[in-house]
Structure 1
């Protein structure tokens, strides 16, 4: 069964690779090989929680401290459910998008440590697709600020978006309908500058596919190859490859992953198929990835959505898949 799956995955990857070459632009850029992270041993996967799962409760607390919960209480929740780590989205820190006070960061870092929790990452909003260079420069500065925040927290990865942000509806509108190759250049230049800053502080820039500029695994790799920086990698959002077979896209990018967002459904919609957790974890194990797997639940306009209920259910599904796939070894891949 495993070998059959491996062959199918390989064939899907092979079919997508020519597309990656066509999405990439100048040949000189495409030839600059973007290296896969070096892995030793089999996969080693640790459950984590993405704080965005508690969007509603965290936002409620930001408005009224007597309601919802704060990041300290969210760490308590993670400890109660034996998560290995927490991914602390930047939006929920006091003063965002500015850096929080060091006293806050260090208190939160110590609290997580006392609970046995690692801080697996953080993330911000940015728009590197905009035609206006001032908008892109603002995003670069924000990433640099939060790279330094991550370093203080001991978080190894900062998430960067590869899509447009409000008031724009999509990357074409943000870019004033500039050609895709031009916009990929905007993104690559901004991400490379951020990665240079990340290298100084020991923090990796993880580029997330989010269903706008990056809809496919081939597009994801094309951008990373153009950035061509050892401190920039893929943050694979399992719910945001908008293709007929997202698992094939995940298989293509998994070897380059530095972090994840594991979603309940394959296209972050209540109407899309539920994530086949065993199939997904098989792909991740075959890629050789070693590290955290942050899960993220979303309300998706569901009536009565309760993150305190949905997160433990998803965690149980993840743990069952991890146990069922424990014997699966990485598939050797050419470099």
Structure 2
């Protein structure tokens, strides 16, 4: 089997249970993901859209279960369930969450964990690696497809090259774990040492694993031309998050995102998978989300 055909085969299986048996054996640095055919994009809603309501730091006004029920009333296919909102991670609780999503006809497109692999202290970095390791297993238990992870922020007095090497080493350590569980690690463009496409690709491309890719966040590049920069990372995306605003370099205020342009970038790159609305706008969330979902539903068709 050729290297390219092997990658196609793995990505075809990754959505099913067989992916859990595959190991990241690629001998090459990561290349743009090859999609074998066109497929309709699937629409998901990120729990982070209700961050203030779901946050466990205060007194949450919404539970994870209530969020799932809310999402089930929308014309969407899946939900993204962020680690921050889980009051516990016992097998029993995770089983209930998975069962609720199944009963409501929703897939779990993925999840997210707030890690930082840039930390220089080896003990603290080991704890960050363990956090992601744990959430790979938790996400697999609820049927999640990809886990959003972060590179982190450059520590004071450190060099970007040194921090980047630590990030790459951490992800390489976790990649075999992700492969065992059939969960993709999706490194997000999230500022810090991933503020530009070149910085993000410098982390992702050297990693020799078919279970590592990019989480394309349409609102996170604060560059002169965010759309052009999104196009640079789209070929490596294993998950795509859509925000309704962008903010260019030098701008003090955000501007409405051209959602048609963002979806067009994904389609041009041959992206197949979930398009996840992560709403962070100023309009009340329950008023804004249904409208944006309707718009995205039409665009991804």
Match of 2:41, SS?
strand
- Which secondary structure state, in structure 2, belongs to the residue aligned with residue 227 of structure 1? coil
Aligned length: 273
Question: Does the aligned pair in 1 maintain the 2:75–2:293 contact within 8 Å?
Answer: no
1:156 is aligned to 2:145: yes
The alpha carbon displacement at 1:32 in A equals 4.7
Alignment correspondent of 2:37 = 41
1:233 corresponds in structure 2 to 213
TM-score by length of 2: 0.85
- Corresponding position of 1:104: 93
Give the corresponding residue for 1:139.
128
Matched, 1:54 2:50: yes
Taking a change above 3 Å as real, the CA distance of residues 76 and 69 of structure 1, as seen in their structure-2 partners, is same
Structure 1 residue 178: deviation in Å? Answer: 2.2
* CA distance in structure 1 between the aligned counterparts of 2:161 and 2:209, rounded to whole angstroms: 19
Correspondent of 2:185 among 169, 189, 205: 205
Task: Give the Cα–Cα distance (whole angstroms) in 1 for the partners of residues 256 and 201 of structure 2.
Answer: 25
Q: Residue in 2 aligned with 1:261? A: 241
Correspondence for 2:284? 306
* Structure 1 CA distance for aligned equivalents of residues 39 and 257 of structure 2: 20
Q: How does 1:162-177 map to 2 (within 5 A)?
A: 162-164=151-153, 171=154, 174=155, 176-177=156-157
Three-state SS of the structure 1 residue aligned to 2:275 is strand
Give structure 2 stretches of 5+ with no counterpart.
Answer: 1-26
Tell me how far 1:43 sits from its aligned partner.
Answer: 4.2
Q: What is the 5 A alignment of 1:1-335?
A: 32-59=28-55, 63-64=58-59, 68-95=61-88, 100-164=89-153, 171=154, 174=155, 176-267=156-247, 271-299=253-281, 302=282, 305-323=283-301
Which ranges of structure 1 fall in alignment gaps of 5 or more residues? 1-30, 165-170, 324-335
Calculate the aligned-residue CA RMSD, in Å: 2.0
